[in-house]
Amino acid sequence: MTIEITDLYKKFGKNQVLKGVDLTIDEGHIYAILGPNGSGKTTLIKSILGMVIPDKGHISILDKPIKKDWRYRKQINYLPQIANFPPNIKVKELIHMIKDLRNSPSAEKELIEHFGLEPFLNKKLSTLSGGTKQKVNIVLTFMFNSPLIILDEPTTGLDPRALIHLKELIQKEKARGKTILITSHIMQFVQEMADEILYLLEGEIYFKGSIEKLLEQTGQNNFEHAIAAITTTGNHV
């Protein structure tokens, strides 16, 4: 079991974001975390990463509780939602810095080539376009070999060619036995990539299962419509 979450609660001010999430994530699959805006997707991911500290509940990663620990993050590659980097440093320096901080072997050369980032290596991050920043973001995420990969809106700003590269990359990592968590609003991307769907609604897991199970349960034959219909059919798991 890669991730085990029991009874997770989190409140921001008066806003109860997570209301008792129970979840187990198994090794070697691609999970898509879906849900309407404000349903707690990012909070859930940030709790797993230890960036948000839960009010109540328990999280274990690779069978170790994460509370008051930070070393477990060596097992996680995280792609943040909005790639906001320090503006005054060059792409090359940023990659070098993250490598230095993580102190583990990395395979950035291949990725840089893959996404055609060579011409940008000596440019400052503030001068890059949104899509190029996202490519840098992807390189930073995939250059380490960790058993758990978390991608928050990975497709943002990517051109079709980069998107194909990204999909290949995700499939390759899955073939290596990695566990991958993805959030996305692009249903076509989710349908193509995900083995399992996790649907969050108002801070709870509303649905967990394969795409086939979802289609069956909602009585729809189109994935996008099934997601839209998920809350109205009322088949709470």
Contacts to another protein by CB under 8 A: 12, 46, 49-53, 70-74, 76, 78, 80, 84-86, 88-89, 97-98, 100-102
Q: Pick the closer one to another protein by CB: 50 or 154.
A: 50
Minimal distance, residue 77 CB to another protein, in Å: 9
- Report how far residue 179's alpha carbon sits from residue 27's, in angstroms, rounded to the nearest whole number: 5
The single-letter DSSP state of residue 125 is G
Minimal distance, residue 38 CB to another protein, in Å: 16
Q: Pick the closer one to another protein by CB: 98 or 187.
A: 98
Minimal distance, residue 70 CB to another protein, in Å: 5
Q: Pick the closer one to another protein by CB: 34 or 48.
A: 48
Minimal distance, residue 211 CB to another protein, in Å: 29
Minimal distance, residue 184 CB to another protein, in Å: 19
- Report how far residue 187's alpha carbon sits from residue 34's, in angstroms, rounded to the nearest whole number: 9
What burial letters (b/e) apply to 123-146, b meaning 16+ CB within 10 Å?
ebbeebeeebbbbbbbbbbbbbeb
Specify whether the CB–CB gap between 11 and 55 falls below 8 A. Answer: yes
The single-letter DSSP state of residue 177 is T
Minimal distance, residue 233 CB to another protein, in Å: 34
Q: Pick the closer one to another protein by CB: 111 or 214.
A: 111
Q: Pick the closer one to another protein by CB: 78 or 142.
A: 78
The single-letter DSSP state of residue 209 is E
Q: Pick the closer one to another protein by CB: 50 or 227.
A: 50
- Report how far residue 178's alpha carbon sits from residue 21's, in angstroms, rounded to the nearest whole number: 23
What burial letters (b/e) apply to 10-39, b meaning 16+ CB within 10 Å?
beeeeeebbeebebebeeebbbbbbbeeeb
